[in-house]
């Protein structure tokens, strides 16, 4: 296909597709096609996931998700019925990074770690889809749910953010979020010492993400996050949009300016980011519905219907802030304000650690009875769709038996034949 035709098609899509309503791009379709090269590479999982996620945001009251650490955790999330998976940089730093270290959430791990975990999760989900296929399930599960991936502060400048987003798309991420902290001083949103970059610098990272998606020809959902609610420092006073929030006090020993953090600065930044992303996320310090409503109303006054995201963070002491009735209705209240994507970032970390600790205590105290109790619980959960109790079949032994059979008819080395799992489960 001629480049002129590709340019025309892309321009037409941007101008007429409702998906791009109110989305601004400072670059042209001609620049995208030139940067794309002579062929259009297919990023099937990323494209499929992005389309599913955006459709869910449009059609559902809200899209709930849990943060997962591993492929097996992701499978449990899907088989339990959740429609999306959140992939947290915090969790990758803690226990799933290529540096093989346990880190706090300060961008200390290799930047390629999150793409690798996206790929690992997608590979696990694909395997379950393949296993399901050979089982000829009457009502198959859609295992390839959208993965919403944490790109942190981009691990550097615009080019670093661009390359990271391309890697995430290549791995099959449906959505990407970027935050407005200084990469070299990046912290978890619930730690101190956070340093903002100028508003325009944060916008440039969002543009880098959109450009990466356009070059990959994938409608990746871009989420813009601001830490302005609690970040007390900023690198520069160059951007006039930031100047009203800068305090008239001496700069820090690093040369940073002090800012008046809080809701108003968060609103200011969100309004600036809105044209360049699909969803807005204000990181907050408490599960405060009034705060969430005030932010949403301020955004929607200027950008009616703008999609919002909310981190239902494990850093909050939920029962301390809310009673049981409020906890039960929290998601619906948020959704009524326009928070369409709601997620628990560190769910996998806490579930993994709690479960293993409790099992260890039970085994220490009651021996095999402690483990048998867990196994019996697994048997009970089978009625609700839990499949991992049959661990050999779960990871694909039967699937590879079929591959062996296709290669060598009447093979005598079938793994599941005469297995203890077949005999006892």
Binding-site residue ranges for Mg(2+): 150
Contact 221, 177 (CB under 8 A): no
Give the end-to-end CA distance of the chain in Å, rounded to a whole number.
56
- Name, in order, each residue with C-beta under 8 angstroms of 275's C-beta and a sequence gap of 6 or more: 22, 23, 24
Active-site entry in 165, 188, 216, 277: 188
- Which residues are annotated as part of the binding site? 88-90, 150, 189-190, 225, 311-315, 345
Q: What's the rounded Cα separation, in Å, for the pair 314 and 346?
A: 6
Q: In the structure encoding, which two tokens stand for residue 224, read together? A: 């813009």
Contact 213, 230 (CB under 8 A): no
Q: Is 165 known to be catalytic? A: no
Strand runs labelled E in 15-82: 63-67
Q: What's the rounded Cα separation, in Å, for the pair 311 and 331?
A: 11
The candidate with the shortest Cα–Cα distance to 122, out of 75, 154, 61, 190, is: 75
- Cβ burial of 129 (10 Å; 0-12, 13-18, 19+) is middle
Q: In the structure encoding, which two tokens stand for residue 305, read together? A: 């219907």
Contact 303, 346 (CB under 8 A): no
> Phi and psi of 97, rounded to 5°?
-110, 160
Give the catalytic positions in this structure: 188
């Amino acid at each position: 296909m001629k480049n002129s035709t590709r340019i025309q098609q892309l321009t037409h899509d941007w101008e007429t597709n409702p998906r791009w309503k109110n989305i601004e791009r400072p670059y042209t379709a001609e620049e995208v096609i030139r940067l794309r090269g002579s062929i259009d590479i297919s990023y099937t999982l990323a494209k499929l996931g992005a389309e599913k996620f955006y459709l869910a945001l449009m059609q559902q009251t809200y899209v709930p998700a849990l943060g997962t650490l591993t492929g097996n955790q992701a499978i449990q999330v899907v088989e339990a019925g959740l429609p999306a998976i959140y992939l947290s940089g915090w969790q990758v730093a803690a226990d799933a990074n290529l540096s093989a270290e346990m880190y706090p959430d300060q961008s200390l791990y290799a930047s390629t770690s999150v793409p690798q975990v996206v790929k690992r999760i997608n590979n696990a989900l694909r395997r379950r889809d393949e296993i399901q296929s050979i089982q000829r399930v009457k009502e198959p599960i859609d295992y390839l749910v959208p993965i919403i991936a944490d790109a942190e502060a981009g691990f550097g400048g615009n080019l670093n953010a661009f390359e990271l987003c391309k890697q995430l798309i290549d791995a099959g991420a449906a959505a990407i979020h970027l935050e407005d902290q200084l990469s070299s001083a990046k912290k978890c949103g619930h730690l101190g010492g956070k340093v903002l970059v100028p508003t325009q610098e944060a916008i440039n990272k969002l543009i880098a993400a959109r450009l990466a998606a356009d070059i990959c020809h994938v409608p990746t959902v871009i989420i813009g996050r601001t830490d302005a609610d609690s970040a007390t420092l900023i690198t520069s006073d160059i951007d006039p949009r930031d100047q009203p929030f800068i305090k008239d006090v001496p700069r820090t020993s690093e040369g940073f300016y002090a800012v008046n953090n809080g809701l108003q600065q968060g609103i200011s930044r969100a309004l600036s980011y809105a044209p360049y992303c699909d969803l807005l996320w204000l990181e907050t310090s408490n599960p405060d519905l009034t705060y969430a409503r005030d932010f949403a109303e301020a955004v929607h006054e200027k950008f009616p219907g703008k999609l919002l995201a909310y981190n239902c963070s494990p850093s909050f002491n939920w029962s301390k802030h809310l009673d049981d009735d409020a906890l039960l209705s929290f998601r619906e209240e948020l959704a009524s304000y326009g928070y369409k994507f709601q997620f628990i970032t560190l769910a996998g970390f806490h579930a993994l650690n709690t479960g293993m600790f409790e099992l260890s205590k039970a085994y220490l105290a009651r021996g095999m009875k402690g483990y048998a109790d867990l196994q019996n619980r697994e048997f009970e959960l089978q009625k609700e769709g839990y499949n991992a109790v049959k661990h050999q079949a779960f990871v694909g032994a039967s699937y590879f038996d079929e591959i062996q059979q296709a290669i060598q008819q009447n093979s005598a080395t079938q793994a599941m034949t005469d297995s203890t799992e077949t005999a006892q489960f």
